[in-house]
Amino acid sequence: MVKKDARGQDMNKKEKLQGSVAEIFSTKVNGKLPARILISAPAGRGKTTAVAKMAYDWVHRERGSALEHLPLLFVVKFRNTSQLTSIGEAIKSHLLSDVHDLTPEGLESFIRENQEICHIILDGLDEYAGISSSNRSLESNMVSVIRWEEFPECRVLVTTRPHLENFFNQDDLSRVYTKMWIEGFSQESSREYTDKFFASTSSPDRGRGLKVYLDDQPLINELVKTPLFCLMVCHLWSEELLNTKTTTQTELLDSVNDFLMHHANARATSKGKQITDENLGEIIRKLGKVALAGLLDDSKKLVFTPHDFRRVPYILDRACELGILSKMTVTPTRLPRSHKTTSITIEFYHKLAQEHSAGKYLAAKAKSRKRQWPWQISKLDSVLLKINANIGDYEHLLRFAAGTDNSLCIRIMEALLSNSNLDESERYRILLDCSSETKGTEGNVSSLVQRCVNAESIVLKSPTVYTVVGMQNLPKQLKRQVMTIKFEGSTLTTDVTSGLWSCLESFSMLRTLTISDSSLSFHPSTHELPSVEKLSAKRLTSQSYEGLLSSLPGLVHIDITIDDAEKDIPQITTGLRRAGGQQLTHIELTAPLSLPSEKNSVSRETMRGLGLLIREQTKKLQQLKLYWVKCTDEEDLVYLIECCRRVKTMSYVR
């Protein structure tokens, strides 16, 4: 969970929540229960499972659960709504369809009058078309609930994939929402699971080989943070359907499909029902056509009906036999006053499987396209045009398409270069993410990356493990040209930071790091970046500074805008002491004028710690600037001045 300061602003400081997901609604922030909660996590990390567990605990009044005493809880899945579905319609159709004398309007009126006892969970915001609409007149009141305009006293929890986190930084939403993450399996947990899996097999030693492989393959290692894919990877490895040549997620999901085919064939009662490699390719492509239509639909469809497969019913049957799709029959006759007929719902086993098959279909269409008339447009161009305004919602689709065909990767990169809706920082990241799925960056792929990454700087917003791999794949001559790296609005986990720093070691001309509005976590063994001479940092979390500064032993100039002088300066001092500080010539620390007095004041221990560092280690320091940082005692300032006898210029403004 992200901690907040006394004004309700995010501190970019995370705190691990104790207990189970049932404790989420009872977690207090600064002594109060938050009106709005955001839970963010990549696909498959357990957002929907967490929601299901909360609903189960509430329905069954699980003893000891924090949900036991909630008077009312309404759970809505965005995947079952359309852009114009109101909150009343969603709750009525999902939960109360058998109550015929209750209208959506009446339900909303009840919630409005009883907000203090009503709790709402909105699951899967990234699956909701209404959130990306630029036309407020077409928004349902579900968006108003999310924006804290409707039901402001009602407690609401929203789950989403990370790419929509920025939506909650608008206006007052960053103050209203308490942000939480589900991090999935830690490396320790996934390795422990691997040991247990192989301990029960005839080849327990094979688990060691898998762990070595995962350590070497960051993209596959990222997938095993999802328990389902951890299980799949163990099965693939045990049956020798996965080897060290598999380096991308596109290839891994190809291997999963092969695995499912072998098992379906083993269950087949006759040879006539056997699925060949050629059959499998056709099934995935035709399945991908339906999958892509669902992703591009205004409702971002993840739940299908037999009607969606009306042109390829045999593909539906085959995909269900394979286990790529699951089919569920819903019988509303269980509800006493319902007159609906039985309905069938169809889903992919995971959203990534839907995105993977859609990417394979898109790649196949692009590869087989025949010469077109001048007024015709290719399927790829048509898709890119449709998703142009919200391309970030389709990053996995683009990665899987790019990972299937290098020439398609080039065309996707060209579209990214010309997309005016993207910030430069997003453009860099998505481009690098796509290139991570290619089997190499030689030739044209390299030239496209080089067109986007200019000779001087790379700007990145919220880099991921895919970004790290994309950067590792950059051509050597390009790495030697980059002099500045900028990180904006990023929360970098230990894994991502370690990967980035390891990669940036090869950027021999890198001289400047600029970081803003970010939180960085460092492992004790994180690589150093000795070539970096200047650091400019604004609004970082306090705990970021020690690891960051200690990894930059060649620093000459630092310019840091702090958020909390008493918390930040000791971390900065410790980091510089660990790094040595021998080359430092300029130190500039600024506390913004907007900070309250308690945030720009420092204790005697803090000021004297800084002075001692300057006297003992920064022999080359020429300039020290402290702006709006206040000492609690004038003697501490005198001590600092005494420590700066060798410093040519000292500026102290308060």
Residue 43: partners with Cβ closer than 8 Å, 6 or more residues away:
161, 226, 350, 351, 352, 396
pLDDT of res. 347: 92
Q: Which domain holds residue 95?
A: 2-181
Average pLDDT over residues 230-234: 94
Residue where a domain stops, chosen among 134, 149, 181: 181
Element (H, E) at 363: helix 351-368
**11 against 385, higher pLDDT:** 385
**pLDDT above 70 covers what percent of the chain?**
90
Q: What's the pLDDT band for 7 if we cut at 50, 70, 90?
A: low
Q: What is the DSSP letter of 113?
A: H
Do 174 and 254 lie in one domain? The reply is no
pLDDT of res. 8: 64
Average pLDDT over residues 165-176: 83
Does 266 score more than 80 pLDDT? yes
pLDDT of res. 308: 95
Q: What is the DSSP letter of 389?
A: G
pLDDT of res. 338: 42
String of b and e for 45-83 (b: at least 16 CB within 10 Å)? bbbbebbebbbebbeeeeeebbbeebeebbbbbbbbbbb
Write the DSSP assignment of 397-409 as a string of letters: HHHHHHHH-HHHH
Do 52 and 153 lie in one domain? The reply is yes
Q: What's the pLDDT band for 335 if we cut at 50, 70, 90?
A: very low
Average pLDDT over residues 484-494: 90
How many residues in total does the chain contain? Answer: 654
Could you tell me which residues are beta bridge partners of residue 586? Answer: 557, 623
Write the DSSP assignment of 436-477 as a string of letters: TTSS---THHHHHHHHHS-SSEEEEES--HHHHHHHHTS-HH
Residue-wise pLDDT for 424-478, tens only, equals 888 888 888 998 998 754 556 666 666 656 558 888 988 999 999 999 888 888 8
Do 158 and 287 lie in one domain? The reply is no
Do 142 and 278 lie in one domain? The reply is no
Residue-wise pLDDT for 347-381, tens only, equals 999 999 999 999 999 999 887 765 555 555 778 88
Do 278 and 390 lie in one domain? The reply is yes
Distance separating the N- and C-terminal Cα atoms of the chain: 34
Q: What's the pLDDT band for 334 if we cut at 50, 70, 90?
A: very low
And the tokens for 190? 């996934």
Nearest to 190 by CA among 246, 233, 219: 233
Residue 505 lies in a domain: no
- The Cα 152–Cα 146 span in angstroms is 9
Indicate the burial class of 653 (C-beta count within 10 angstroms; 0-12, 13-18, 19 or more): exposed
**What's the domain count of the chain?**
3
Do 316 and 397 lie in one domain? The reply is yes
- The Cα 193–Cα 185 span in angstroms is 9
Q: Look up tokens 């009306």; give the residue.
A: 310
Name the pairing type of β-strands 177-181 and 36-40: parallel
Does 66 score more than 80 pLDDT? no
Residue-wise pLDDT for 511-525, tens only, equals 999 999 898 999 989
Average pLDDT over residues 87-114: 92
Residue 537: partners with Cβ closer than 8 Å, 6 or more residues away:
514, 515, 516, 545, 548, 558, 559, 560, 561
**59 against 440, higher pLDDT:** 59
Residue-wise pLDDT for 534-573, tens only, equals 999 999 989 899 999 999 999 999 999 999 999 999 999 9
pLDDT of res. 136: 59
pLDDT of res. 608: 95
Name the pairing type of β-strands 2-4 and 10-14: antiparallel
Residue 200 lies in a domain: no
Nearest to 579 by CA among 621, 626, 610, 618: 618
pLDDT of res. 333: 40
Does 336 score more than 50 pLDDT? no
Do 261 and 152 lie in one domain? The reply is no
Residue 369 lies in a domain: yes
**413 against 114, higher pLDDT:** 114
Average pLDDT over residues 159-183: 85
Residue 528 C-beta-side C-alpha neighbours within 13 Å: 14
Nearest to 503 by CA among 534, 471, 478, 480: 471
Write the DSSP assignment of 279-342 as a string of letters: HHHHHHHHHHHHHHHHHHSTT---SB-GGGGTT-HHHHHHHHHHTSEEEEEE-GGGSTT--PPP
CATH classification of the domain holding 599 = 3.80.10.10
Look at residue 540 and give its three-state secondary structure.
Answer: strand
Do 309 and 388 lie in one domain? The reply is yes
In degrees and rounded to multiples of 5, residue 300 shows phi and psi of: 50, 60
- The Cα 587–Cα 647 span in angstroms is 11
Residue 231 lies in a domain: no
In angstroms, what is the C-alpha Rg of the chain? Answer: 27
Helices (H), 136-276: 141-146, 173-176, 187-199, 206-216, 218-223, 227-238, 249-267
Do 73 and 170 lie in one domain? The reply is yes
Residue where a domain stops, chosen among 163, 181, 199: 181
Do 157 and 303 lie in one domain? The reply is no
Residue where a domain stops, chosen among 371, 388, 420: 420
Q: What is the DSSP letter of 241?
A: -
Do 162 and 302 lie in one domain? The reply is no
Look at residue 586 and give its three-state secondary structure.
Answer: strand
Residue 84 lies in a domain: yes
Does 137 score more than 90 pLDDT? no
Out of 154-163, 235-244, 434-443, 599-608, least confident range: 434-443
Q: What's the pLDDT band for 133 if we cut at 50, 70, 90?
A: low
pLDDT of res. 293: 95
Decide: 66 and 27 in contact? Cβ < 8 Å. Answer: no
Residue 517 lies in a domain: no
Residue 432: partners with Cβ closer than 8 Å, 6 or more residues away:
449, 460, 463, 466, 467, 470, 471
Do 156 and 259 lie in one domain? The reply is no
**445 against 73, higher pLDDT:** 73
Out of 146-155, 189-198, 274-283, 411-420, least confident range: 411-420
Q: What's the pLDDT band for 256 if we cut at 50, 70, 90?
A: very high
Residue 514 lies in a domain: no
Query: Mean pLDDT of all residues in the chain?
Result: 87
Nearest to 467 by CA among 415, 520, 440, 427: 427
pLDDT of res. 393: 82
pLDDT of res. 385: 84
Decide: 182 and 38 in contact? Cβ < 8 Å. Answer: no
CA–CA distances in Å: residue 527 to residues 496, 499, 522: 12, 9, 10
pTM: 0.80
Residue 516 lies in a domain: no
CATH classification of the domain holding 137 = 3.40.50.300
